[in-house]
Amino acid sequence: MTALQVSIVGMGPRGLSILQRISDLASELPEGCPLDVHLIDPGDAGQGAHSARQPGHLLTNTVASQVTMFAGEGGPSFTEWAARSGYREFGEAVYPTGADAGGVVGEHTYLPRQILGSYLSWVFDRTVASLPASVRVVHHRDRAVDIEPRAGGRFAVHLEQGFVLPSDYVFLATGHCERIPTQADRAYEEFVQEHADRNPWLVYCSNPYPVERLQRIAPGSTVAVQGLGLTAHDVISELTVGRGGQYRGSGWEMEYVPSGREPVIQLFSRQCLPFSARGVNQKGLTGQHRPRFFTTEAVRSLRERATRLRNDPRLDFEEEVLPLLLREMGYAYRMAEEQRVIPPEEYDLTPDDRRAVEDIIDPLRGREFASQEAFTKFFLDHVAVDLEQAELGNTTSPVKAATDVVRDTRASLREAVEFSRLTPDSHRTFNATYVPVMNRVSFGPPRHRNHQLLALIRAGAVDLAGGPGSQVVLDRSAARFAIRTQYQDGPEVRHADALVVARLDAFHPEQDRSPLIGKLVQRGLVRPYTNGSFKPGGIDIDEVGRPVTADGEPLRTVWAVGYPSRGRGSTPTHCPGRGWPRSSPARPTSACAT
């Protein structure tokens, strides 16, 4: 009897969740039917971007107790596993001592990503061990470079080293991407090459991962870091603690002691606003704000109304959806402010509540700055006030209660946005304006990362390269990058030897560096997702996750999960928060070949 062949391309957490699902369904296979599961990933199975070999100073951005690879009581959370495995806290470091020394890994701990990688590998080993004897798992430490259609709806997965895997079912879980160099990338690279003889410190880094790429940045040089989000915190950590620097104390008393091997770091971004710190969790491990206004039912009602009024179910985010979200945020803000449960029928979004919420969304609204010095003062005050709110907690602080609404109402956002449920123009505005805002206010770093940022600025290790509207200019006379910001008193310029783009690339299949994605597009097996004239990124998939071909038909036995399929909605980032949801793609139920 010929075994059924399943290929999983990419074995990070999403690929691991697919393997878990296969394990759940293995008992439903016909008796005696063998199943071969081929895992295609050059790294350790399960880990993906969370390599156990990465530096220990790179942290998860979610408390470990809210990360799990198991549904219900199926297995330990990340925190439970770490405690059972003997990990203990020693200040900001965590080691597997297995002894009573150090502190207990608590539910509010942000553990290093390298430990998360070990947890994921443990889950992988446990999952494989649970499979019946009829299921064989083969890990190919290689990359898929092509998927070729074969007769009978089957496929052949071609690997980089030449091996070919005939497959009845294919799951694409390829994770984060890296773009083909843009015109700006090429211009920066050419600038570095042309002027290297005059400035040997010149470096351009379009993607900081893996962080070992940052070793090219020379101690004592000046590096401009473009971005102020989670990736920027990784870059800062690698260029400071990763160079031997140390923090002493904690919270407001924290100090940074340099090693002398750091570069001088200058930060800037389009708005030059830092990501807000996560509030102390007061909701328990699974607690969430229960929406009263911005509900999935309310969004569906909006769609029914739109169909009646204009014969088009698509919504305008700013005109129809945003008012519901603002009211929900205002409601959470008011309840935290008054510290009582307010019956929803008694609440209306007052002008004061609206102003408070709009100040959270756009703290630059109505502001102008005379100089870099004036903006830097605003920036430092903004970080400090946000930290004070974060330390109050996510039900005590009105600000953090309001921003948590974005995290806790993602189902409503998906209902409003995914699968072209916004008009094309509105979808473009949502992606360009509101997704960055939601990520900044609701999906920020642990509090101590922003305390570290303030300590670094006080120590002179970090500064701001510019303010809102900063632009990169190539100063050929100085053989350096220049960051230029226009202020009321005139333009100000900061120079740097290195430029690091500290943000993850959006996935656009036509612009992706991966040979596999290029081949899939070329073959017409996938097509870019479009909403009318707008291309938000990602590949087009149907409601059950199957890629839609260039001919408009879904592939019957292929599924795409995670990052490549996010463009259909582009809702805010889901850093591992309350666990990775276990994937539930269509199950392989066809009979075994004989």
The pLDDT, as a whole number, for residue 27 is 80
Distance from C-alpha of 169 to C-alpha of 331, rounded to nearest angstrom: 47
In the structure, what pLDDT confidence band is assigned to residue 592 with cuts at 50, 70 and 90? very low
Token pair in block for residue 437? 């805002």
Helix, strand, coil percentages (3-state) for the chain, rounded to 5, are: 40, 20, 45
36 within 8 A of 5, measured Cβ to Cβ: yes
Distance from C-alpha of 93 to C-alpha of 248, rounded to nearest angstrom: 12
The pLDDT, as a whole number, for residue 146 is 98
The pLDDT, as a whole number, for residue 30 is 79
The pLDDT, as a whole number, for residue 571 is 54
Containing H/E element for 485? strand 480-487
Amino acid residing at 309: L
Amino acid residing at 400: K
In the structure, what pLDDT confidence band is assigned to residue 585 with cuts at 50, 70 and 90? very low
Distance from C-alpha of 26 to C-alpha of 291, rounded to nearest angstrom: 38
The pLDDT, as a whole number, for residue 73 is 83
Residue of 56, 73, 53, 72 lying closest to 110 (CA atoms): 56
Distance from C-alpha of 479 to C-alpha of 481, rounded to nearest angstrom: 7
Q: Which residue has the higher pLDDT, 590 or 298?
A: 298
Distance from C-alpha of 414 to C-alpha of 568, rounded to nearest angstrom: 10
| Tokens 């470079």 belong to residue | 145
Distance from C-alpha of 64 to C-alpha of 508, rounded to nearest angstrom: 31
The pLDDT, as a whole number, for residue 572 is 57
Three-state secondary structure call for residue 4: strand
Across residues 273-278, what is the average pLDDT? 95
Residue range 404-429, pLDDT digits in tens: 999 999 999 999 999 999 999 999 99
What percent of the chain has a predicted confidence (pLDDT) above 70?
Answer: 95
The pLDDT, as a whole number, for residue 586 is 34
Three-state secondary structure call for residue 278: coil
Half-sphere exposure of 144 (CA within 13 A, CB side): 29
In the structure, what pLDDT confidence band is assigned to residue 584 with cuts at 50, 70 and 90? very low
Distance from C-alpha of 538 to C-alpha of 571, rounded to nearest angstrom: 12
Query: Which of these ranges, 94-103, 215-224, 351-360, 536-545, has the smallest mean pLDDT?
Result: 94-103
- Look at residue 588 and tell me whether its pLDDT is greater than 80: no
The 8-class DSSP code of residue 201 comes to T
The pLDDT, as a whole number, for residue 66 is 85
Q: What value does the mean pLDDT of the chain take? A: 92
Taken in order of first residue, the domains within the chain and their CATH numbers are 4-175+555-568 (3.50.50.60), 183-275+446-501 (3.50.50.60), 296-367+387-426 (no CATH)
In the structure, what pLDDT confidence band is assigned to residue 321 with cuts at 50, 70 and 90? very high
Helix residue ranges per DSSP H, 393-531: 398-408, 410-417, 424-429, 435-442, 447-459, 515-523
Amino acid residing at 314: R
Query: Which of these ranges, 21-30, 141-150, 386-395, has the smallest mean pLDDT?
Result: 21-30
C-alpha separations of 314 from 31, 317, 321, 325 in Å = 48, 9, 11, 17
Q: What is the 3-state secondary structure (H, E, C) of 159-180?
A: ECCCCEEEECEEEECCCCCCEC
Across residues 243-267, what is the average pLDDT? 97
In the structure, what pLDDT confidence band is assigned to residue 590 with cuts at 50, 70 and 90? very low
- Look at residue 576 and tell me whether its pLDDT is greater than 90: no
Across residues 105-126, what is the average pLDDT? 93
6 within 8 A of 587, measured Cβ to Cβ: no
Three-state secondary structure call for residue 481: strand
- Buried-exposed string 417-449: b where 16+ CB fall within 10 A, e elsewhere: bbebbbbbebbbbbbeebbbbbbbbbbbbbbbb
With 0.75 as the threshold, say if the pTM is over it.
yes
* 54-57 CB contacts, 8 Å cutoff, 24+ apart: 54/113, 54/114, 54/117, 54/210, 54/211, 55/114, 55/211, 55/238, 55/242, 56/93, 56/94, 56/112, 56/114, 57/112, 57/237, 57/238, 57/241, 57/242
Residue of 222, 42, 170, 74 lying closest to 557 (CA atoms): 170
Across residues 299-316, what is the average pLDDT? 97
Give the relative orientation of helices 398-408 and 372-392 as an angle to the nearest 10 degrees. 80
Across residues 214-233, what is the average pLDDT? 97
Half-sphere exposure of 504 (CA within 13 A, CB side): 17
Token pair in block for residue 470? 């900063």
Looking at the chain, the number of H-run helices and the number of E-run strands are 15, 21
Residue range 442-465, pLDDT digits in tens: 999 999 999 999 999 999 999 999
Across residues 42-60, what is the average pLDDT? 94
- Look at residue 193 and tell me whether its pLDDT is greater than 70: yes
- Look at residue 94 and tell me whether its pLDDT is greater than 70: yes
Across residues 346-372, what is the average pLDDT? 96
- Look at residue 65 and tell me whether its pLDDT is greater than 50: yes
Token pair in block for residue 10? 């990419």
The pLDDT, as a whole number, for residue 505 is 85
CA dihedral 259, 261, 262, 263 (to 10 degrees): 150
Three-state secondary structure call for residue 333: helix
